[in-house]
Structure 1
Amino acid sequence: MKFKFKILVVFTLTLVLLAGCRKADRISHNISREADDMNITRKVTVINGIKGDVLFQMTGNMSISYNNETKQLSVIAEDDKGKYKKHIIGISDNVSYIVEDITGMKGIDTKYRIYFNPDMVIPIDVKSAD
C-alpha cells in the first residue's frame, strides 16, 4: 500500500512540474540552442546611445554571448568557407546592442556579413617613408 502511495505522489509531482513548463520557455531554450549550433540567422546591431548612430552590424549564422564582468560581447560567426571567426565588442554605458532573429529572411548568400559605419572610423593619414 505504501509503495502505491509513493508512486502516486511521484506521478502527481511529475505532472505538476511538467505542467509548470511554459511553451514559451521551451521555445526560447530551443531557439538559443539552435543559434549556438549556428543554425539560426541573426543580426547584431551595435548602437552609440549618445548620438544614436549605428556603429556596425553583423548578419549571419552566429553564436553570441555577453560577459557581464568584462562588458564584452563575443560573437562567433561562420563564414561562407566553413571557417569560424570570433569578434569581441566592448560595450560601455553609452554603447548598446540589439540581437534580432532573422531566420525567415531569404537571400543571404554568405554565412555572415559585417557592416561598419564609415563615420565612426577614425581617419588615418598614411605617409610613405621613401
Structure 2
Amino acid sequence: MKKKILLVVVATVLALGVLTGCSESYKVSQNVSQEADNFNVTRKLTVINARTDTVLLELTGTFALQNNNDNELEVIIETAEGKYKKDLVYLNDYTMYVVEDVSGANVDKYHYEINFLPEWGAKITHKN
C-alpha cells in the first residue's frame, strides 16, 4: 500500500513538473519577446527576396511583429512616445525576413508585471 501511495505521489509531482516547469531559456525567451512587443527593444527587420538575394526592406527601431492569415507581416512601429504606425509586408514563396535584436533586453526570469486597464494607471511589479 505504501508503495502505491509513493508511486502516486511521484507520478503527480512529475506530471506537475512537466506541466508547469519550463527551462530557464524558455522563460527568458518569453520575457525578451514581451519586452520587444512592448517597444522596449531596438530591433532590425530585414526582408529579403530569396530568389534574387535582393534586400526589399530594412527597418531599425522599436516595433512589434505579427503574422496574419493573409501572408502578411504586420509591423507596428513606435515613431514617438504614444505614436505608432502600422505597415504590412506581403510574404510569398520567395520572400523571407530576419529580425535581429540590436540593443538587447534586460530581463529577469523571476520578474513579472501585472497591468490593469491603462486608464486606471495601476501598475504592480513583483520581483522575487
Superposition TM-score tier, normalisation by shorter sequence: 0.5 to 0.7
Alignment of 1:24-39 (within 5 A): 24-39=25-40
In structure 2, C-alpha distance between the alignment counterparts of 1:26 and 1:100, rounded to whole Å:
19
Matched, 1:98 2:102: no
Matched, 1:54 2:55: yes
* Deviation string, structure 1 residues 25-74 (Cα, Å, up to 9, x no partner): 1011101111111111111001011110101101101111112x311000
SS for the counterpart of 2:62 is strand
Q: Structure 1-normalised TM-score?
A: 0.65
* Deviation string, structure 1 residues 72-130 (Cα, Å, up to 9, x no partner): 000001113541000100001011111111114xxxxxxxxxxxxxxxxxxxxxxxxxx
Moved more, 75-84 or 20-29: 75-84
In structure 2, C-alpha distance between the alignment counterparts of 1:22 and 1:93, rounded to whole Å:
34
Q: Which amino acid letter does the alignment assign opposite residue 75 of structure 1?
A: V
Structure 1 unpaired stretches of 5+: 105-130
Matched, 1:23 2:32: no
Who is 2:83 aligned against? 83
Structure 2 unpaired stretches of 5+: 1-5, 105-128
Cα displacement (A) at 1:19: 7.7
In structure 1, C-alpha distance between the alignment counterparts of 2:18 and 2:52, rounded to whole Å:
48
In structure 2, C-alpha distance between the alignment counterparts of 1:74 and 1:40, rounded to whole Å:
17
Q: Which one has the largest radius of gyration?
A: 1
In structure 2, C-alpha distance between the alignment counterparts of 1:75 and 1:57, rounded to whole Å:
12
In structure 2, C-alpha distance between the alignment counterparts of 1:45 and 1:33, rounded to whole Å:
20
- The structure-2 alpha-carbon separation of the partners of 1:12 and 1:70, relative to structure 1 and needing over 3 Å to count, comes to same
Q: Which has the higher strand share?
A: 2
How many positions carry a matched residue from both structures? 101
Cα displacement (A) at 1:16: 2.4
Q: Structure 2-normalised TM-score?
A: 0.66
Identity %: 41
Q: Which amino acid letter does the alignment assign opposite residue 85 of structure 1?
A: K
